[in-house]
């Protein structure tokens, strides 16, 4: 790993260090060496690569430091932003405190302002392109999760950042080599672009948990490891089980029209992951609200892992039935409603068909492992590269947990005829199909619809 480079921010305005020593009040902030270019003038500053490469962390720190030095108007943009919670607002708020810049910034609900005149605003390009086009005087635009930004959105955004000396910062984990962002800033970058690939190797602060996850994926799937941790593009998407279904979106379950929560658990063997997921059904969407995930989790550590997910102790959890002794142990530790999920011939295929029957699978941004698996969960390929109708037994821990959670509904959907979902919620416990379709208005779904 590379040693961290040092960047300094002076709390005494633009005063410069004298005789090689920083002035009084100067605070020091650490950065990986790969991100030093953020403090140099370039039209396009691009950082891409795999997980744990400190891209968002470093961009947030650099923006706050520069905004403390001089007044800047900063736009933090992404493709979609349904609410401020979809943005990097929370990350910037955290970094204000960690950098000791609370006296420089006032964190408001929809924006962040600096005492020296800096203003940080947040917007989704697709949500309101006309609002983006009308923005004036932007000094720096940071586009986060830029792999999702369409060519049309770039055509809206780039001409908007037109102030003399303005910059566009781009951070992303690459997906496909045909994505507009990858083609624009990696394959054929425009003049004035500095593009840097950064990864876990450049992060001197990796935790033991992160290293475990990295090593696990390297062991079980080299191709997926190269994509997730190595920052390499996936070569294809046509073998993805849930292709076209999943979206990353902030949401908060309500009372009307929300059925659930449904909990499911998958057990890790040895150094495999243990996973718990919390799901809701809202209209024709399956919503993934929360997850617990750990690699090499000991039996006595599982209750604390699961207990961090709100409601896990109070609701029914359907768990992998291959470990009855684990289920019994977790039940004795305060999860009285945990029970084994039923399996049957074809239950995996039935479960996948049920998941794909939803119009969307909406994944809360906090569910990073579910989102990752949703991209990697795939059908096998033969030697010629043809897609086989067989699901690969990997990247399926959150996926299996979701199938277990929804097992009663999946069984009904696999039975000829119809099954019913309570239109107004009514409890996803279903510890014997209680709470689903109990005499109120219901919505009938035909099999395979």
Is the CA virtual torsion 172, 175, 177, 178 positive or negative?
A: negative
Residues in the chain: 449
- The larger pLDDT score, comparing residue 12 to residue 136, is at 136
- Where are the domains positioned within the chain? 33-202, 246-446
- Listed in sequence order, the residues at least 6 apart from 24 whose beta carbon sits closer than 8 Å to its beta carbon are 12
285-295 and 360-363 as β-strands: parallel, antiparallel, unpaired? parallel
105-107 and 73-78 as β-strands: parallel, antiparallel, unpaired? unpaired
What pLDDT shows up at residue 17?
43
193-197 and 105-107 as β-strands: parallel, antiparallel, unpaired? unpaired
Beta bridge partners of 195: 46
- Listed in sequence order, the residues at least 6 apart from 146 whose beta carbon sits closer than 8 Å to its beta carbon are 78, 170, 171, 172, 181, 185
Report percent pLDDT > 70 for the chain: 85
Q: Give the integer Cα–Cα distance in Å for 370 and 375.
A: 9
Q: Give the integer Cα–Cα distance in Å for 24 and 185.
A: 40
The answer on pLDDT for 408 being more than 90 is: yes
- CATH homologous superfamily for the domain 33-202: P-loop containing nucleotide triphosphate hydrolases (3.40.50.300)
What pLDDT shows up at residue 429?
38
Is the CA virtual torsion 233, 236, 242, 246 positive or negative?
A: positive
Query: Over the stretch 199-220, which tens digit does the pLDDT of each residue have?
Result: 999 998 899 889 999 998 888 8
Q: How far is CA 136 from CA 115, 161, 174, 428, in A?
A: 21, 8, 30, 48
Q: How far is CA 8 from CA 16, 26, 368, in A?
A: 10, 7, 32
Which of 78, 180, 72, 163 lies closest to 128, judged by CA? Answer: 78
Query: Over the stretch 320-349, which tens digit does the pLDDT of each residue have?
Result: 999 999 999 999 999 999 999 999 998 999
Contact by Cβ (8 Å): 261, 426: no
CATH class, domain 246-446, is alpha beta
- The model's pTM is 0.66
């Amino acid at each position: 790993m590379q040693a961290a480079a040092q960047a300094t921010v002076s709390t005494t305005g633009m005063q410069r260090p004298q005789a090689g020593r920083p002035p009084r009040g100067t605070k020091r902030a650490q950065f990986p060496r790969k991100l030093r270019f953020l403090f140099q003038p370039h039209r396009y500053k691009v950082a891409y690569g795999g997980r744990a490469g400190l891209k968002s962390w470093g961009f947030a720190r650099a923006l706050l430091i520069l905004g403390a030095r001089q007044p800047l108007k900063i736009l933090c943009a992404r493709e979609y932003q349904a609410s401020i919670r979809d943005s990097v607002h929370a990350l910037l708020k955290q970094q204000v405190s960690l950098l000791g810049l609370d006296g420089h910034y006032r964190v408001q609900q929809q924006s962040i302002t600096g005492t020296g005149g800096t203003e940080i605003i947040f917007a989704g390009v697709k949500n309101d392109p006309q609002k983006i086009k009308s923005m004036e005087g932007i000094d720096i635009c940071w586009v986060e999760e830029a792999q999702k930004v369409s060519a049309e959105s770039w055509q809206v955004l780039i001409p908007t950042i037109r102030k003399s000396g303005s910059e566009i910062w781009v951070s992303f984990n690459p997906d496909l080599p045909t994505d507009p962002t990858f083609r624009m800033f990696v394959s054929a970058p425009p003049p004035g672009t500095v593009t840097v690939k950064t990864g876990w190797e450049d992060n001197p602060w990796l935790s033991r948990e992160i290293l475990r996850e990295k090593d696990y994926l390297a062991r079980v799937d080299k191709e997926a490891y190269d994509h997730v941790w190595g920052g390499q593009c996936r070569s294809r998407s046509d073998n993805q089980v849930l292709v076209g279904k999943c979206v990353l979106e902030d949401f908060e379950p309500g009372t009307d029209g929300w059925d659930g929560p449904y909990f499911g658990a998958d057990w890790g063997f040895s150094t495999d992951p243990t996973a718990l997921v919390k799901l809701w059904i809202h209209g024709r969407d399956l919503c993934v609200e929360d997850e617990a995930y750990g690699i090499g989790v000991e039996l006595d550590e599982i209750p604390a892992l699961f207990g961090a997910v709100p409601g896990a102790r109070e609701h029914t959890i359907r768990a992998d039935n291959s470990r009855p002794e684990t289920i019994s142990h977790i039940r004795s530790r305060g999860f009285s409603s945990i029970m084994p999920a039923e399996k049957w011939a074809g239950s995996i295929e039935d479960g996948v068909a049920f998941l794909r029957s939803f119009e969307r699978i909406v994944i809360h941004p906090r569910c990073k492992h579910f989102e990752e698996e949703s991209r990697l969960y795939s059908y096998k390929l033969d030697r010629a590269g043809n897609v086989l109708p067989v699901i690969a037994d990997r990247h399926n821990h959150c996926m299996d947990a979701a199938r277990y959670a929804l097992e009663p509904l999946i069984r009904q959907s696999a039975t000829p005829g119809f099954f019913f979902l309570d239109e107004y919620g009514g409890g996803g416990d279903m510890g014997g199909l209680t709470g689903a379709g109990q005499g109120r208005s219901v919505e009938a779904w035909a099999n395979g619809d």
